[in-house]
Amino acid sequence: MYPMIKIEGVRHAYKTPSGPLPVLDGLELSLNEGGFVAVVGPSGCGKSTLTKLVSGLMKPDEGKVMLHGEVVTGPRNTVGMAFQNPVMLEWRTILQNVMLPLEIVPNKLTKAEREDRARHLLALVGLTGFEDKRPSELSGGMRQRASLCRALVHKPEVLILDEPFGALDAFTREDLWQTMHKVKENEPFTGILITHDLREAIFLADQVIVLSGRPARTQYVLDVPDTGPRDLDHLYTPEAAEMLAVLRHQIEIAQGRASAEEVAE
Ligand SMILES: Nc1ncnc2c1ncn2[C@@H]1O[C@H](COP(=O)(O)OP(=O)(O)OP(=O)(O)O)[C@@H](O)[C@H]1O
């Protein structure tokens, strides 16, 4: 069986007026269906570029990006995306914003079925009663919940989350982490999460990939043990502290502030 996402030997440089800017240099990733990987690394190392390659918005100079064994050659509507600043259409209600992908991606649902699906997702993230509000009437955390629903409404094969909780306060962020677990239980997806938050990475993902500094390669892979349902208290266990320490060291290496030998000591 093919992995859901497979990235092999990907190299990419942006063309800039001052010459090529190498961004990815030997990226490897393999993720089975239902897996959830978090990608961390120094600022500007190429994390968002990776998401553009997976969604087919860009093609790599070298190497392959495959979904279910099929090489990605162009934009895919089987990928759902949510970003740090969700762009919502102010002239549409929250329900209408969530239904938007179903108007774009071909599907056989009737209008009533589309609406049911959107309402079901909004209920799952705790937004029942806000369906008819406009985006500006919602808090940042609520907009992010709605954006998650919009990213999932067409049942994408892959969900890409590019720092979706980065702009939220700590309490709202932790609330949303718990919502994410609930969503994944009810609406299974294969996910890539880009984040700067190591606690978020180990709380949500089952694998954390550390990218090196630019041009990025896969520097380190941490498997987060499956210990059953996770709650926030998990983040304060000795096992979590150890994982966070390992990841912090790896980030320091990626930033050029520690050597691999120092870490091995
Ligand atoms: N279209 C583009 N043309 C030229 N350079 C680009 C382009 N897009 C991104 N870059 C540059 O490529 C590098 C990697 O960008 P990318 O957005 O993938 O990094 P990132 O790891 O997601 O960054 P951050 O952690 O700050 O969000 C950066 O130096 C960025 O300035």
Alpha helices in 56-110 (DSSP H): 94-104
The whole-number average pLDDT for the span 232-237 is 90
Q: Which of 12, 18, 23, 219 to mutate to test the pocket of ligand 1 (most atoms within 8 A of CB)?
A: 23
The ipTM of this complex is: 0.96
The residue written with tokens 């589309």 in the block is 114
Structure confidence at residue 239 (pLDDT) = 94
Domain-embedded: residue 184 = no
240 with 194, same domain? yes
Tell me how many domains the chain contains.
Answer: 2
Q: Does residue 67 sit within a domain?
A: yes
Share of the chain above pLDDT 70, in %: 97
- Choosing from 10, 11, 12, 21 the residue with most ligand 1 atoms within 8 A of its CB, the one to mutate for a pocket test is 21
Residue 263 reports pLDDT greater than 60: no
- Return the exposure string of 222-245: e unless at least 16 CB atoms fall within 10 Å of the residue's CB, then b: bebeeeeebeeebbeeeebeebee
Say whether pLDDT at 258 is over 80: no
So what's the pLDDT on residue 127? 95
- Residue 179 maps to a domain: no
Are 22 and 45 contained in the same domain? yes
Asked if residue 181 belongs to a domain, the reply is: no
- Asked if the structure places residue 113 within a domain, the reply is yes
Residues lining ligand 1, judged by CB closer than 6 Å? 14, 16, 21, 23, 43-49, 214
Measured between alpha carbons, how far is 114 from 236 in angstroms, rounded to an integer? 41
Specify whether 194 is located in the same domain as 72: yes
CATH code of 5's domain: 3.40.50.300
Domain region containing 43: 1-78+159-167+189-265
Q: What spacing in Å lies between the alpha carbon of 214 and ligand 1's midpoint? A: 9
Tell me the mean pLDDT in the region 146-164: 93
219-246 average pLDDT score: 91
Domain end residue (candidates: 106, 135, 156): 156
pTM, whole model, 2 decimals? Answer: 0.92
Question: 163 with 44, same domain?
Answer: yes
pLDDT at position 205 over 90: yes
Say if 182 falls within a structural domain: no
Residue with CA at minimum distance from ligand 1 atom 30: 44
Mean pLDDT across the chain, nearest whole number?
91
Of 11, 12, 14, 40, which is best to mutate to test ligand 1, by the most ligand atoms within 8 angstroms of its C-beta? Answer: 14
pLDDT at 81: 86
